[in-house]
A and B are shown apart, each in its own frame.
With several copies, the nearest count.
Chain A
Amino acid sequence: MIEIVDTKIDVEAVRKSVESQICGAAVLFTGSTRRFTCGRETEKLFYECYPSMALAKMRELHQIACQRWDIHACSIVHRIGEVDLGEVSIAVATSSPHRKNSFESAQWLIDTLKKTVPIWKKEIWTDGSTEWVHPDNNSPQQPM
């Protein structure tokens, strides 16, 4: 399940999408809108993406993860548009016969997605101001 959606993510469906009797372990990561960042209060987030390339890159991450780890299945669902406080913007799920691979691949997937998939996040602060989020590392993306 590799999807970009503009409504609430059905997190339980993402989790179930990687279930299998072959697997003894599954890891689900969810990222959601956090109220406070460095003392400032967020009203909501707004996400925008380059749809065709974002999906292509997410499929590439899926493929690399399946090659690098012994995982049975992997799902990545990202939400775009406005995401209210506490709501989920990203869900990543992996499953594998043994748990180490599920943990490592899920963490790699979210770390790498944040660095390479063309999706952008704008903070909408409670004081009414807005700001495109700049990742810590401002160097251009490198081809994976």
Chain B
Amino acid sequence: MNIKVQLFAEAREFAGALELEFDLELGSTVLDLKDKLIRDYPQLESLIQRSSFALNDDYGTDESEITEGTELAMIPPVSGG
């Protein structure tokens, strides 16, 4: 399936893009996504390890399953307030 991951803040600047788009196998999890991201963008590895991933506006875990149409975002450590 084709998926897009929205990027913010440091992740957006590092990647030089607002989102990353690629293919994932059906039934993939957030952990699969992170592995794929690290292979494709090794310069993001350290930040990916410190980041969370959001699925449809909520925090996921490594085991969260990604389905077609899931709104995905990489969430670097937050610092609002």
Contacts and interface: CB of A to CB of B under 8 A. Distances in A.
Give yes or no for direct A-B contact (beta carbon below 8 Å). Answer: yes
Interface of A: 31, 47-50, 52-54, 56-57, 78, 89-90, 110, 113-122, 132-135, 137-144
A24 B10 CA distance: 23
A120 B80 contact: yes
B79 A119 contact: yes
Interface of B: 6, 8-10, 13, 50-52, 54, 57-61, 71, 73, 75-81
Contact of B8 (A50, A138, A140): A50
Nearest to A141: B52
Contacts of B13: 132
A89 B79 CA distance: 12
Contacts of B54: 50, 53, 118
Contacts of A120: 8-10, 76, 78-80
A138 B77 contact: yes
Contact of B80 (A52, A56, A121, A144): A121
Contact of A49 (B51, B58, B80): B80
Nearest to A139: B50
A21 B2 CA distance: 48
B80 A90 contact: yes
A126 to B, nearest CB: 20
A119 B80 contact: yes
A132 B9 contact: yes
Given A50-B6, A118-B8, A120-B9, A132 B57 contact: no
Contact of A31 (B57, B76, B78, B81): B81
